[in-house]
Amino acid sequence: MGIEERDRYTGHMTTGHDWNGIKELNTKVPKAVWIFLFISFVFSVICWILWPAWPLGETYTRGILGTDQQKRVDQVVERAIEDRAIWTGRIMDMDYGEILSDQSLMQIARENGGRLFLDNCAACHGKKAEGGPGFPALKDTAWLWGGTPEIISESIRVGINSGHEDSRASEMLAFGRDQLLPRDEILTVIDYVQSLSPVSADQEPKQDRNAAGKALFLENCASCHGENAKGDVETGAPDLTDDFWIYGGTRAAIFATVWNGRKGHMPAWQGRLSDVDRKILTLFLLDLSGMDVDGRSNN
């Protein structure tokens, strides 16, 4: 320490730096700072003792509290599952009809189902289950595979063309691309299909081609969609006489469907959502579309 000079006005030491006679004071660090610094040292030593801190080669100090964030979240999640068991147990034990008529349980299903729907289903089916191009609406009463609770919950469990071992499987052939039908015959059968649907009520059906269109329909389409074009819930073939269109009901959209075929995909939710979550979602959808246990609309 070469500098031992005390400023005679303040009583502090100087640093020895001198600018034209003005000297820099080496003011002492305030006591409060020392106190806080000391407290923070003590605090960190306590933390080292309580929680995992120092690495020791192949292991580390684990702390006397034995804290483990992963075990902690396991406990919290498990406790949450137990807390919910009061009503999840009832939902699992009761059948759909009983739950639908139990307003307190339905309120729970609505709240939890809505949350599950937003987290898992809304990306494709839309926030209000209104669907979108390629993704069926779920708030209506047109169900590809049937609208009873058991069928809906099974659809959620196994998915469609999902790779699940029990997956529902459905595919519409590419009639144009794979040259099953020539272009003019496809257009003829589209005329016929459009004449069945109320959407095209304003369009004049081309009667002269309808006979030919019907013949083509019976030959090529009826095996899945049915002779009356009402669809088939066994094969997931849509009803072509209603005004619900998954891929669009315009002439161009139907042409694209018939030409390139369709093979929709819904993931299987078994293994991602638990049995009770899937049952809650089923209840949520039944409630949303206003259906009873037999898949009939109450609206």
Partner 1 sequence: MFNFHYRLERYSIRFAILVVIVASIGGFVEIAPLFTIDETVEPAPDMRVYTPLELAGRNIYIREGCYACHSQMIRSLRDEVERYGPYSLAAESQYDHPMLWGSKRTGPDLARVGGKYSDYWHVVHMNNPRDVVPESVMPSYRWLGRNELEPADFDLHLRAQQKVGVPYTDEMVANAINDLSGQANPDGKRAEGVLARYGEATNIRDFDGDPTKVTELDALIAYLQILGRLTEVAHQNPVMKKLEGPK
Binding site for partner 1 (CB under 8 A): 1, 54-55, 57-60, 69-70, 72-74, 76-78, 80-81, 119-120, 123-124, 126-127, 132-135, 264-267, 270-278
- Residue 15, SS3 per DSSP: strand
47 is in an annotated binding site: no
| Residue 5 φ then ψ, to 5° | -125, 125
Strands 13-19 and 22-26: antiparallel
| Amino acid, res. 136 | P
Tell the smallest beta-carbon distance from residue 98 to partner 1 (Å).
22
144: left (phi over 0), alpha (psi -120 to 50) or beta: alpha
Tell the smallest beta-carbon distance from residue 134 to partner 1 (Å).
6
Tell the smallest beta-carbon distance from residue 257 to partner 1 (Å).
13
Nearer to partner 1, 4 or 204 (CB): 4
* Of residues 51, 84, 61, 101, the one with CA closest to residue 277: 84
The H or E element containing residue 63 is none
* Of residues 156, 249, 131, the one with CA closest to residue 199: 249
Tell the smallest beta-carbon distance from residue 31 to partner 1 (Å).
13
Nearer to partner 1, 125 or 214 (CB): 125
Nearer to partner 1, 12 or 72 (CB): 72
Nearer to partner 1, 46 or 123 (CB): 123
Tell the smallest beta-carbon distance from residue 71 to partner 1 (Å).
9
17 is in an annotated binding site: no
Encoding tokens for residue 122? 């809304």
d(CA 157, CA 272): 9
CB 189 within 8 A of CB 257: no
Nearer to partner 1, 74 or 111 (CB): 74
164 is in an annotated binding site: no
Instruction: Give the position of tokens 């339905």.
Output: 106
How far lies 199's CA from each of 24, 184, 196, 230, 286, in Å?
A: 89, 23, 9, 15, 26
Nearer to partner 1, 57 or 208 (CB): 57
d(CA 196, CA 229): 8
CA angle, corner 224, sides to 216 and 281, nearest 5?
145
Nearer to partner 1, 115 or 296 (CB): 115
Tell the smallest beta-carbon distance from residue 138 to partner 1 (Å).
15
- Residue 270, SS3 per DSSP: strand
| Amino acid, res. 290 | G
Tell the smallest beta-carbon distance from residue 158 to partner 1 (Å).
12
Q: Which parts are annotated binding residues?
A: 121, 124-125, 172, 221, 224-225, 266
Going by the annotation, the residues of the binding site for heme c are 121, 124-125, 172, 221, 224-225, 266
